[in-house]
């Protein structure tokens, strides 16, 4: 009989937090898992990059390969750019049906014998099968509109979201106008997870998929925004009042995940669990002070390149794409940007000036942690562009995005199965080990071109050269507006609104 597996992706899942909360007696199911699973500290790629790299990481998890091989190198790559077989294709090849809920780069949704709900970076609301698309409508909802859209609630109910969860969500919508910004965000994250989970459980039950995936983004967001309120040691400046208000949000997020995992387990007693994360989280002092971003339009005007380039934000980076026929030479432009300096210190205005493989130029304004200036200095600083001086604050916005944690290289990997002979910590692993581990667990052949190996020798696995012959997707021009992706990036906070 085929083994059934449920894979849960806990975005930014971190053992330091899990262990601390277990010790406090708050995560009974994680405690059970740690005592009854094989687990490992799983290393991801270096996290200090200029752009969010989650598509790269998730594709490495999916293919068992490094980015150079699978070719997903940029945040703007699409799934047809992937040249290596992913776990869905490989398992399909051996007759397993697969359902995925939120795996990166699963848009446009394809049929793997179950359901495919693309991740939040999808460019439209398509799902497989198509009748599930109301779940994608939910993520596009602007603040406050949800209740007005009673219709969407009925659609969600119809596709399998349970009524109680929907009722909780709607009553939260009624009271949330009395909440402050942080509480509102936190509640929304919690309810979104509950709605997703409710639908996921229903889908697994109805489609009877052999291997299914569920994604939990709650852990990543909760750590980014709420870490500092429960970390007195690293953030002594947080007031008692704030600590009282938000101090248990991170813990509550993990309790929610603990409950989600237990619910998945109890509803699927015949399945084994694979729990993975794409990276861990760690506190950052830098994020807790203000960040600086470029006033893009003003900058383009002052440098006389307005109309000749496109510009948008990815995180704090401004990405510049030189228009064709603009007469601008990207190489010259890079030299020009590097020579813009802050007066009187003489340091560079941009701490990052880089070009990627497709010719886009990334610019990042020198931040407080790298610069020689303090917040109170800003109004006196000048910027020298060519031979002209401009006020620093005419070119730079000061943001008070409070991020007190950021991505850490080390995430989690746990495998739970009733019949495990070995339990406990099995040493460190990498994201390339996930797919080989899954295949070994299912007694399927590994491939010689994998960059990882099974966490544990579950079976006497044979080897084939490669699974890449399974990639049927051919590269085709997809005519879609990048604006849709940018809108999503904005919503996620990666992109700032255009000026």
- Shorter beta-carbon distance to Zn ion: residue 104 or 220: 220
Rounded to the nearest whole angstrom, what is the least distance from the CB of residue 224 to Zn ion in the complex? 6
The window from 55-63, 215-223, 325-333, 450-458 that contacts Zn ion (CB under 5 A) reads 215-223
Q: How far is the CB of 47 from Zn ion (least distance, A)?
A: 9
The verdict on 408 binding Zn ion (CB under 5 A) reads no
**Is there binding between residue 258 and Zn ion (CB under 5 A)?**
no
CB of 407 to Zn ion, least distance (A): 6
How far lies 499's CA from each of 142, 213, 385, 490, 494, in Å? Answer: 20, 38, 21, 13, 15
Whose Cβ is closer to Zn ion: residue 176's or residue 278's?
278
Is residue 210 within the footprint of Zn ion (CB under 5 A)? no
Closer CB to Zn ion, 66 or 407, in the complex = 407
Nearest to Zn ion of 98, 284 (CB atom): 284
Q: Does 278 bind Zn ion (CB under 5 A)?
A: no
- The least CB distance from residue 226 to Zn ion, in Å, is 13
**116 touches 110 (CB < 8 A):** yes
Nearest approach in angstroms of CB 491 to Zn ion is 14
Min. distance of Cβ 195 from Zn ion in angstroms? Answer: 21
3-state secondary structure of 291: strand
Write out the H or E segment, with its range, that includes residue 159. Answer: helix 150-159
Q: State which residue, 225 or 413, has the beta carbon closest to Zn ion.
A: 225
**215: helix, strand or coil:** strand
Which residue, 220 or 488, is less far from Zn ion as judged by CB?
Answer: 220
* CB closer to Zn ion out of 11 and 451: 11
Please state, in angstroms and as integers, the Cα–Cα distance from residue 142 to each residue in 39, 149, 188, following that order: 39, 11, 12
Coil, helix or strand at residue 313: strand
- Minimum gap (Å) between residue 54 Cβ and Zn ion: 8
Helix-, strand-, coil-residue percentages of the chain, each rounded to 5: 40, 20, 40
Pairing between β-strand 280-283 and β-strand 361-365 as defined by DSSP bridges? unpaired
* Residue number, 257 or 383, with CB nearest to Zn ion: 257
The window from 143-151, 184-192, 218-226, 448-456 that contacts Zn ion (CB under 5 A) reads 218-226
Q: What is the Cα–Cα distance from 272 to 247, expressed in whole angstroms?
A: 34
Please tell me the count of residues contacting Zn ion according to CB under 5 A: 1
β-bridge pairing 309-314 and 317-322: antiparallel
Backbone angles phi, psi at 46, to 5 degrees: -55, 140
- Does 176 interact with Zn ion (rule: CB under 5 A)? no
With CB under 5 A as the contact rule, the residue among 43, 89, 176, 220 that binds Zn ion is 220
Q: Does residue 287 contact residue 419 with C-beta atoms inside 8 Å?
A: no
Contact (CB, 8 A) for 189 and 218? yes
Residue 105 CB neighbour total at 10 angstroms:
22
- Asked whether the beta carbons of 459 and 440 are under 8 A apart, the reply is yes
CB of 65 to Zn ion, least distance (A): 23
Q: Which residues bind Zn ion (CB under 5 A)?
A: 220
């Amino acid at each position: 009989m085929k083994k059934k597996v449920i894979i849960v992706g806990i975005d930014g899942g971190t053992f330091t937090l899990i262990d601390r909360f277990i010790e406090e007696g708050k995560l009974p199911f994680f405690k059970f898992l740690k005592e009854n699973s094989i687990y490992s500290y799983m290393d991801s790629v270096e996290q200090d990059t200029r752009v969010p790299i989650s598509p790269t990481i998730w594709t490495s998890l999916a293919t068992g390969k490094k980015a150079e091989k699978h070719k997903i190198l940029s945040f703007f790559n699409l799934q047809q750019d992937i040249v290596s077989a992913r776990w869905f294709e490989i398992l399909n090849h051996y007759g397993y049906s697969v359902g995925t809920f939120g795996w990166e780069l699963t848009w446009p949704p394809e049929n793997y014998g179950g359901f495919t709900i693309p991740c939040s970076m999808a460019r439209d609301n398509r799902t497989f099968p198509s009748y599930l698309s109301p779940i994608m409508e939910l993520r596009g909802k602007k603040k406050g509109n949800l209740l007005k859209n009673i219709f969407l609630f009925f659609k969600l109910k119809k596709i399998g979201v349970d009524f109680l969860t929907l009722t909780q969500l709607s009553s939260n919508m009624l009271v949330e106008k009395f909440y402050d910004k942080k509480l509102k965000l936190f509640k929304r994250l919690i309810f979104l997870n509950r709605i997703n989970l409710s639908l996921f459980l229903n889908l697994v039950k109805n489609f009877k998929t052999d291997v299914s995936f569920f994604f939990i983004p709650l852990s990543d967001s909760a750590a980014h925004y709420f870490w500092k309120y429960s970390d007195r040691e690293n953030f002594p400046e947080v007031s008692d009042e704030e600590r009282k208000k938000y101090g248990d949000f991170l813990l509550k997020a993990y309790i929610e995940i603990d409950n989600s995992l237990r619910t998945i387990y109890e509803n699927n007693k015949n399945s084994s669990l694979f729990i993975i994360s794409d990276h861990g989280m760690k506190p950052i002092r830098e994020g807790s002070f203000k960040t600086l971003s470029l006033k893009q339009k003003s900058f383009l005007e002052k440098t006389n390149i307005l109309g000749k380039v496109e510009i948008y934000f990815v995180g704090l980076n401004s990405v510049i794409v030189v228009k064709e026929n603009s007469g601008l030479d990207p190489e010259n432009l890079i030299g020009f940007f590097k020579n813009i300096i802050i007066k009187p210190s003489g340091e560079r205005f941009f701490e990052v000036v880089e070009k990627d493989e497709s010719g886009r130029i990334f610019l990042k304004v020198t931040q407080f942690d790298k610069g020689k200036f303090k917040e109170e200095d800003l109004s006196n600083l000048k910027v020298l562009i060519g031979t002209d001086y401009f006020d620093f604050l005419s070119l730079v916005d000061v943001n008070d995005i409070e991020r007190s944690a950021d991505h850490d290289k080390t995430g989690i990997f746990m495998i739970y199965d009733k019949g495990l002979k070995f339990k406990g910590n099995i040493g460190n692993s990498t994201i390339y080990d996930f797919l080989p581990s899954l295949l070994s667990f299912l007694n399927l052949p590994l491939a010689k071109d994998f960059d990882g190996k099974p966490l544990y020798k579950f079976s006497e696995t044979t080897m084939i050269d490669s699974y890449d012959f399974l990639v049927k997707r051919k590269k085709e021009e997809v005519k879609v507006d990048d604006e849709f992706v940018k809108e999503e990036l904005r919503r996620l906070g990666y992109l700032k609104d255009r000026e």
